[in-house]
Amino acid sequence: MTEHSEKAYALLQADAEKIRKLIEVQMENLTMPQCPLYEEVLDTQMFGLSREIDFAVRLELIDEETGKHILSELERKLAAFHEAVVGK
């Protein structure tokens, strides 16, 4: 990876982590997963991250597979957290 590619990857990972934390805080303190507000925030944040990833792929800073991995990892973490909260 080039220096720019490494930086792009790190920034995308950081954005994914921010989304995870935002959703966790919202689920723990504000609303339940069935709430339309929760779904709106999740959809908006995930869409934004997917657009960032698409942009980085088009600039050839990361490859498409890496971008898919970032999204799938975030989705996996959110699903696990969702199960933990709903299962309480």
Residue 8: pLDDT above 70?
yes
Average pLDDT over residues 19-24: 89
For position 16, what pLDDT does the model report? 96
For 75, how many CA atoms within 13 A lie in the half-sphere containing its CB? 11
For residue 8, give the CATH number of its domain. Answer: 1.10.287.750
DSSP letter, residue 35: S
What are the tens digits of pLDDT across the range 22-74?
888 877 776 555 667 677 888 899 999 999 999 999 999 999 999 999 999 99
Number of neighbouring beta carbons within 10 Å of residue 44: 11
Angle at Cα 52 formed by Cα 5 and Cα 36, nearest 5°? 145
pLDDT of residue 32: 59
Number of domains in the chain: 1
- pTM strictly above 0.85: no
CA separation for the pair 44, 60 (Å, rounded)? 24
- For tokens 């339940």, the residue is 32
Range of the domain at 32: 3-86
